[in-house]
Amino acid sequence: METPAHARPEKQDPQGQRRAAPTARHDVVVVGGGLVGASLAIALERIGVDVALVEATPPGALPAVFDQRNLSFAEATVNALDALGVMALLRMPRAPIRRIHVSRRGDFGRVLLDAPAYGRDCFGEIVVARDFGDALEARLAALPRIARYRPARFLGLEAGDDGLRRLRLAGSAGESTIATRLLVAADGARSSVRDALGIGVAQHDYGQALFVARVRTSRAPDGTAWERLGPHGPTALLPRGDGCHGLVHGVDAAEADAVAALDDAGWLARLQREFGWRAGRFLGIGERSRHLAVRVCAERLVAPRAVLVGNAAQSVHPLGAQGFNLGLRDALTLAELLEGTADPGSDALLAAYAARREEDRARTLAFSDGLARLSASPGTVPRLLRAAGMAAVDRSPTLQGWLVGGAMGYRGDVPRLSRGNA
């Protein structure tokens, strides 16, 4: 039976013209065209997998996640995205992270990590999400074997026991069905695919709102990533390639509306008070966006012929900048396991994926959650524990090495593409 026209994915012939695919069956279907889903599709095409990407946005548009927020790429992430041909397509300058400075307002002590001390020029790089989205789109457009269903919205799953997962999609011309031997949920923390698979989540609301913006200070970025902890979340300044800093500012969720209503002068005064003068005087601030700090952790990573990656598997507190780096390692581990396999949805392969992701996932979740909770805890005892902990890390090469390894993305079973020359 011929596939209905509205169900056909986009394909490209060698001349770049769009043509209809003859079938609606694939080895792997990735639902979600955001940071992790698009990266996974590129990694799978690289090894010759028949992969389809289901995207909610139409051609010419980017998902909302590709905005002006600042993405902190660990060295392992940069290695992988270089190998996938994405980093070379960035148009804005990349900003290296050469130092990490962590302190807490009102506490003694600080932690300072310096990349040259570990034989590195930098720990990673800062990239603007919008620029990264454009680079991913350019890379996808150059890979004609990736089938792209867009705009398409996942509606649900159909029953079947013939070694395939069947997905119902809603597109601009109506509903359609496609089939796959492996379904990948990369559709975010509120994953519809995860819900359809019956996978529950453990959720924790940190009671914080995080504001993201670009700020200009009297001191130009010098490669230092500043993490200034506070009772209602971090105030982080990240170096950007355009001479400004990327800001993440946490506030109590109850006062988020009042903070959002501040004018530019009010914002600059607030940031100066919360952050101090380490970066000089705050001179200007751009458009602000607001995000809730919520931890969402799937109870399991796999189901029959289905797997979760990225925020669909776990969404962590942004303190420590672990989220996308962790999600990309999900995607790269899956791609590594799929290379050369006869059945991409076999029980053995899915069990291997869950086993390989266990250590990295558990350690990263524990680190992000523990840091977020401890840094926000009031009282004398938590304050003394924080001060003692910072002093211990600052004086211990072993503890610093553990932190540096995690910050650079080398935690657990690291995928080959992430290792580079490490």
The CA–CA distances, whole Å, from 182 to 194, 358, 418 equal 14, 20, 23
The residue out of 294, 326, 342 marking a domain boundary is: 294
| pLDDT given at position 161 | 72
The residue out of 250, 265, 294 marking a domain boundary is: 294
Q: Does residue 387 lie in a domain region?
A: no
The residue out of 294, 319, 344 marking a domain boundary is: 294
| 50 shares its domain with 142 | yes
| 267 shares its domain with 358 | no
| 43 shares its domain with 113 | no
pLDDT, the chain, mean = 86
**Could you report the per-residue pLDDT of 245-284, keeping only the tens digit for each?**
999 999 999 999 999 999 999 999 999 998 889 899 999 9
Q: Is the pLDDT of residue 355 over 70?
A: yes
Cα 106 from Cα 117, distance rounded (Å): 28
Q: Is the pLDDT of residue 9 over 80?
A: no
- Give 246's strand partners: 214, 238
| 306 shares its domain with 360 | yes
**Could you report the per-residue pLDDT of 96-148, keeping only the tens digit for each?**
999 998 887 665 567 788 999 888 999 999 999 999 999 999 999 999 899 99
Range 29-57 average pLDDT: 96
Q: Count of domains in the chain?
A: 2
Q: What is the CATH number of the domain that holds 274?
A: 3.30.9.10
Residue 146, token pair as written in the block? 């990736």
Q: Does residue 257 lie in a domain region?
A: yes
Cα 122 from Cα 94, distance rounded (Å): 12
Residue 136, token pair as written in the block? 């991913």
Q: Domain limits at 312?
A: 5-67+134-202+298-372+410-419
Which residue in 125, 43, 64 sits closest to 289, CA to CA? Answer: 64
| 343 shares its domain with 259 | no
Between residues 221 and 21, which one has the greater pLDDT? 221
Q: Does residue 268 lie in a domain region?
A: yes
| 44 shares its domain with 155 | yes
| 29 shares its domain with 59 | yes
Between residues 367 and 340, which one has the greater pLDDT? 340
Cα 91 from Cα 97, distance rounded (Å): 18
- Give 248's strand partners: 212, 236
| 318 shares its domain with 351 | yes
Q: Is the pLDDT of residue 376 over 80?
A: no
| 215 shares its domain with 265 | yes
Q: Does residue 37 lie in a domain region?
A: yes
Between residues 422 and 7, which one has the greater pLDDT? 422
| pLDDT given at position 21 | 41
| 176 shares its domain with 322 | yes
Q: Phi and psi for 202 in degrees, rounded to 5?
A: -105, 130
Q: Does residue 390 lie in a domain region?
A: no
Range 358-382 average pLDDT: 71
Range of lowest pLDDT (76-90, 174-188, 285-299, 317-331)? 317-331
Q: Is the dihedral of CA 309, 405, 339, 16 positive or negative?
A: positive
| pLDDT given at position 231 | 78
Instruction: Grade residue 367 by pLDDT with cuts at 50, 70 and 90.
Output: confident
Q: Is the pLDDT of residue 69 over 80?
A: yes
Q: What is the CATH number of the domain that holds 356?
A: 3.50.50.60
Q: Does residue 81 lie in a domain region?
A: no
| pLDDT given at position 30 | 98
Phi-psi region of 16 (alpha: psi -120 to 50; beta: other; left: phi over 0): left
**Could you report the per-residue pLDDT of 401-411, keeping only the tens digit for each?**
656 777 788 88
Instruction: Grade residue 14 by pLDDT with cuts at 50, 70 and 90.
Output: very low
The separation between the first and the last C-alpha atoms of the chain, rounded to the nearest angstrom, is: 51
| pLDDT given at position 173 | 84
Between residues 325 and 401, which one has the greater pLDDT? 325
| pLDDT given at position 253 | 92
Q: Does residue 14 lie in a domain region?
A: yes
Q: Phi and psi for 88 in degrees, rounded to 5?
A: -65, -15
Q: Does residue 11 lie in a domain region?
A: yes
| 41 shares its domain with 150 | yes
| 141 shares its domain with 270 | no
| pLDDT given at position 410 | 86
